[in-house]
Structure 1
Amino acid sequence: MTPFRSTWPPSPARPGLPDQELHVWVASLNRPQPQLNQFWQHLAEDERARANRFYFDHDRAHYIVARGLLRQLLGSYLQLPAHQIAFAYGEHGKPKLAAEQATSGLHFNISHAQGVALLAFARHREVGVDIEQIRPLDDAEQIAERFFSKNEVVVFAAVPAKQKPQAFFNCWTRKEAFIKVIGEGLSCPLDSFDVTLKPGEPAELLQVKGSQEEAARWRLENLNPANGYVGAVIAEGREWQLRYWQWP
């Protein structure tokens, strides 16, 4: 497992979340038992039941930390105890705030991979985030041909071999972030929209089902949250400021 090392700044004590900002947090999910116990106390009964269904201890612990941290950060933004956060779920399972808490306009999304989590927050705009560990895949070309758009397959094929892992996960995280922000999950075909993927090239949503106008509704940003990982965040509108921190 790649050790968790991030160059993102440490978290402020209690950050506000103005409408024009988008916040992303990175956190290691590998936590000592006392912290695990604390996060467990934040969880609702359905979350505890889900945690107990994990077969492997590390998967159970990662879920508890991710969900507990999400509640803690939401509680900080809403000035509520973490255990009082209430969730509702969209048709494809995307969580959102329920009941009166939804009137805050606070939107969020979470992703985790190989023990590292990204959590994104915005007000009055949908947000999607994804993270992956960069690693060589023997079947990267086959996966690309199956799931990437025709244009992305052509671009990916031209990337030098040593840059292919970065390019592959650039594309994958950007695509995952988009299907999460629109709340459609895997019901949205991954080849129905184009993103940039070349290493060093700015992240951008190029077209959605042939429409550049639809793509222009969204702003996509590349993230470098930790050593050996790549991420992407996307949100409605284009005039927002991205701020990011690592959770201690």
Structure 2
Amino acid sequence: MTAPNDIWLIAPTDLTLRLDEIHVWRIDLDQPEVQLQNLATTLSSEEMARAQRFYFQEHRQRFIAGRGILRTILGRYLGIQPRQVQFNYQQRGKPVLADTFADSGLAFNLSHSQGLGLCAVNCTREIGVDLEYIRPMSDLEALAKRFFLPREYEMLRSLSANQQQEAFFRYWTCKEAYLKATGDGLSQLEQIEVSLTPTEPAKLQILEDWSLFELVPANNYVAAVAVENFGWNLKCWQY
């Protein structure tokens, strides 16, 4: 299994996002009760209503942590309090900053799996991030046959059972990161071709004006970030 990337640093107090940078934040969603209470005070009434709709307390707490920390991170870039951050929602539910903050050019995307979250931030360009916990799946080959392109499916089938799991989630995160950046839905998964092997980084095929970064934020996790254009400097922060 791929080892976690040893690239997660504590962000400086004078945090700056340059035009050629992508910042990715690693977020622990399992926060202490006192911290959860503080984060809950930053959420809007609509977000708190959403939190209360979760049946399991664990899911409710992780939602509050994810949204509160997202607000805290974005507030740092915008120079405002977390509670002052406002969102709009695109057609498929993707949160974006409200029109009030359009002049900032700030773009972001959030993904979470189990107790871990990732937030990718960029200035002016569309960005998408996807994070997945690598877990056994009984229908892995069937899902790959349905959602992956023939060359991807054949590459997956050529691997050992252990390698198949990791490769499947690598394919999935790469495709999903791109689709989240563009705002397209999962119905487009099979139209995005990704080239990868167990030892080589993934690449988006055909799409010449997009960059793709693979990350391993923790044991048994894989993630990918997709962003328009090239020449990006990637910085990874631990919240």
Q: TM-score range by the shorter chain?
A: over 0.9
Q: Does 1:191 align with 2:199?
A: no
Q: Would you say the 8 A contact 1:40–1:64 is kept in 2?
A: yes
Q: Distance in 2 between matches of 1:58 and 1:196?
A: 36
2:117 is matched with which residue? 117
Deviation at 1:149, TM superposition (A): 1.4
1:12-58 deviation line (CA, Å, top 9, x unaligned): 22421011000001111001001101110110111011001000000
* TM-score, reference length from structure 2: 0.94
Q: Does 1:82 align with 2:74?
A: no
Q: Distance in 2 between matches of 1:114 and 1:147?
A: 23
Which amino acid in 2 is paired with 1:112? H
1:23 is matched with which residue? 23
Deviation at 1:6, TM superposition (A): 7.3
1:145-173 deviation line (CA, Å, top 9, x unaligned): 11111221111111222211110110111
Q: Would you say the 8 A contact 1:43–1:67 is kept in 2?
A: yes
2:228 is matched with which residue? 236
Q: Distance in 2 between matches of 1:44 and 1:104?
A: 21
Q: Distance in 2 between matches of 1:19 and 1:75?
A: 18
Which amino acid in 1 is paired with 2:160? P
Q: Distance in 2 between matches of 1:26 and 1:139?
A: 29
Q: Would you say the 8 A contact 2:214–2:223 is kept in 1?
A: yes
Q: Would you say the 8 A contact 1:168–1:197 is kept in 2?
A: no
* Matched-pair identity in %: 44
1:167 is matched with which residue? 167
Alignment RMSD, CA only? 1.3
Q: Distance in 2 between matches of 1:64 and 1:166?
A: 29
Deviation at 1:106, TM superposition (A): 0.2
Please list every run of at least 4 consecutive aligned residues from structure 1 whose deviation after the TM superposition is greater than 3 angstroms: none
1:69 is matched with which residue? 69
Q: Count the aligned residue pairs.
A: 235
Q: Distance in 2 between matches of 1:132 and 1:177?
A: 11
Q: Does 1:154 align with 2:146?
A: no
* TM-score, reference length from structure 1: 0.91
Q: Distance in 1 between matches of 2:170 and 2:5?
A: 18
Q: Distance in 2 between matches of 1:14 and 1:39?
A: 22
Deviation at 1:240, TM superposition (A): 1.1
Q: Would you say the 8 A contact 1:150–1:191 is kept in 2?
A: no
Q: Distance in 2 between matches of 1:196 and 1:170?
A: 10
2:202 is matched with which residue? 203
Q: Would you say the 8 A contact 1:107–1:121 is kept in 2?
A: yes
Report the secondary structure of 2:231's partner residue: coil
Q: Would you say the 8 A contact 1:129–1:176 is kept in 2?
A: yes
Report the secondary structure of 2:162's partner residue: helix
Which amino acid in 2 is paired with 1:204? K
Which amino acid in 1 is paired with 2:193? D
Give 5+ residue unaligned stretches, structure 2.
none
Q: Distance in 2 between matches of 1:135 and 1:201?
A: 21
Report the secondary structure of 1:159's partner residue: coil
Q: Distance in 2 between matches of 1:149 and 1:172?
A: 12
Report the secondary structure of 2:9's partner residue: coil
